[in-house]
Amino acid sequence: MAQPKTPKWRQLADRFAAEIRSGERPSGSTLPKISDLAAELGSGSETVRLAYRALSDEGLVVMSKRGGTRVAETLVKIRRDATFRYSRTAREAAGAHGAFEAELARLGLAYREARPTRIAREQAPARVAELLGVDPGEDVLVRDRVMCADRAGVRSDRATVVQLATSYFPGELAFGTQLEADDTGPGGSKSRLADLGHAQTTITEEIDVRAPTEAEAGALRTTADRPVYEITHIGRTAEGRVVEVAVHVMPVRLWRLAYTFEVDA
Amino acid sequence: MAQPKTPKWRQLADRFAAEIRSGERPSGSTLPKISDLAAELGSGSETVRLAYRALSDEGLVVMSKRGGTRVAETLVKIRRDATFRYSRTAREAAGAHGAFEAELARLGLAYREARPTRIAREQAPARVAELLGVDPGEDVLVRDRVMCADRAGVRSDRATVVQLATSYFPGELAFGTQLEADDTGPGGSKSRLADLGHAQTTITEEIDVRAPTEAEAGALRTTADRPVYEITHIGRTAEGRVVEVAVHVMPVRLWRLAYTFEVDA
DNA sequence: GAGTGGTCTAGACCACAGA
DNA sequence: CTGTGGTCTAGACCACTCG
């Protein structure tokens, strides 16, 4: 039976993972620095780094350039439940980012945006333009957010960036409406779109995992070799018209996704 | 603005990706072998390997130990639409794996199982037992499949393993029924469960991305550093009882996922 | 500014799959 | 069996970031 040998870095990562999960290495404690551990084990530093990187991808440790490698404070991934998130009642119940904020709060984290939402009229990427059914050269409304989660009292420039979210709306529907305002009010842009007579009733989300672009890696403070989710969210009205396309990019190591739906028996 | 320098291996990967997508390097053509290219570029072999690995993760090339590195025959990922997949009509329309087979056919691939479905009465993993609401020590019905996709005329031991699928059913419902048969008939196990009065009406799927276990890496013919999707599928009856939990493990590089659902406006 | 992880080279050796 | 990719060491140098 094709059973490849377990690489040494994997074994090392598994050993540390066990120590972390057993509580032997508590949250916040520092792991040996790469060069020291390599010397101690008689391994190359690259081997140790691969082990640490695997732990980082699993969300067990956080690596930083000066601070060394530490056991993560939050050992569980953020859960994103796409189904309930988008019902109007849920959206308007607890503020604009209700479901998301509640989920973060459960992990002891606070939601924040890294900078004000960027609102612009510009061309959409080709794939988005096609989905929206607009001409590739035509301007659409773009709302672009950088979403963070901090532990209380953490300096803002050290916060964890958890998601990049860019929404696209057809100009015909959105220009000159409250969708161009900084604050879109209770329930957010989806509720305003509904108020304008373009309520989204059918949502399709496509999930892909890929390497981040250079810009994404920078914004998410991750590296080119750590994969990200790319979720393309497509909102359709009852008539089947696409009124919103949103692209969410988020590091795989921070998130777990969930979908609930009904089927005919 | 934090803009990390693009690593050399990324630049090299991007160059090849462009050449592949432009058609300059046609499907099936062989890339220079790692050691040659490294010598030609004056780089270390590891750098070239990282570039090739990134291309492989993106599904653009296939690396094999003797055959070298070739441009992939199938440049698109397999799409898995979870929503339509599970309606009874869709399931029974085109054979047991209707939606999946149709999707593969669109890519010029044929569906096959690597070995007969393994059917056993045994303990479920702790997490699954909890979801099913059975005692951790209690036996449940396990159906375990290894799913492949081949191009026509490919030797069976060379086929691409695309998914490991393990379903768990409470013994109380499943033991002694057709769910233990090799062939569960039209519509598969979900339809049989429905015939027994336990139709699934609400489906929850949780998606995670993680490193494969050693056994999974072997079965999927992938390596420990390439991530896999782990989809936990939970089927509930109208009364809210969990009657099936299935765990699907599949290489991230081969798949793209899609969900469609209705929301209240 | 100092110290950490990150990238890269150079090259030995290993393990697996294909001709 | 042979040649390919895969793993690993050793060590130089780079770049980021936190104190």
Domain identity same for A101 and A67 = no
Domain identity same for B61 and B104 = no
Domain identity same for B184 and B233 = yes
| Domain harbouring B56, CATH code | 1.10.10.10
Domain identity same for B64 and B84 = no
Position B263 scores a pLDDT of 84
- Chain D positions with any atom < 7 A from a protein CB: 2-12, 15-19
Mean pLDDT of chain A: 88
* Assigned domain for A263 exists: no
What is the domain extent for residue B18? 8-71
Scored b (16 or more CB within 10 A) or e, A139-176 reads ebbbbbbbbbbbeeebeeeebbbbbbbbbbbbbebbee
User: CA A130, CA A86: separation in Å to the nearest integer?
Assistant: 23
Domain identity same for B252 and B204 = yes
Instruction: Give me the number of domains chain A comprises.
Output: 2
Pick the last residue of a domain from B71, B106, B126: B71
Q: How far is A103 from chain B (nearest CA, A)?
A: 15
The proportion of chain B whose per-residue pLDDT surpasses 70, expressed as a percent, equals: 89
* Assigned domain for B265 exists: no
Q: Judge whether residue A131 has pLDDT over 90.
A: yes
SS3 sequence of chain B: CCCCCCCHHHHHHHHHHHHHHCCCCCCCCECCCHHHHHHHHCCCHHHHHHHHHHHHHCCCEEEECCCEEEECCCCCCEEEEHHHHCCHHHHHHCCCCHHHHHHHHHCCCEEEECCCCEEEEEECCHHHHHHHCCCCCCEEEEEEEEEEEECCCCCHHHCEEEEEEEEEEEHHHHCCCHHHCCCCCCCHHHHHHHHCCCCCCEEEEEEEEECCCHHHHHHCCCCCCCCEEEEEEEEECCCCCEEEEEEEEEEHHHEEEEEEEECCC
Domain identity same for B107 and B33 = no
Q: What is the pLDDT of residues B99-141, one digit of tens each?
A: 677 777 777 778 888 888 899 999 999 999 999 999 999 999 9
Torsion angles phi and psi, residue A210, rounded to 5: -155, 175
User: CA A123, CA A102: separation in Å to the nearest integer?
Assistant: 34
Residues contacting strand C at CB < 7 A? A 2-5, 31, 33-35, 45-46, 49, 52-53, 63-69, 223-225; B 7-9, 41-47, 50, 64-67, 158, 221
* Assigned domain for B1 exists: no
Query: Residue A255: is it exposed, middle or buried by C-beta count within 10 angstroms (0-12/13-18/19+)?
Result: buried
User: CA B140, CA B122: separation in Å to the nearest integer?
Assistant: 6
Low-confidence ranges of chain B (pLDDT < 70): 1-4, 84, 87-99, 152-158, 265
Q: What is the pLDDT of residues A168-223, one digit of tens each?
A: 999 999 999 999 988 888 778 888 999 999 999 999 999 999 999 989 998 998 99
What is the pTM assigned to this prediction?
0.91
Position A160 scores a pLDDT of 82
Position A120 scores a pLDDT of 94
* Assigned domain for B65 exists: yes
Domain identity same for A39 and A129 = no
Pick the last residue of a domain from A18, A45, A71: A71
Pick the last residue of a domain from A71, A104, A125: A71
| Chain B: residue whose CA lies nearest to A232 | B258
Domain identity same for A125 and A181 = yes
CA of residue B177 relative to chain centroid, distance: 28
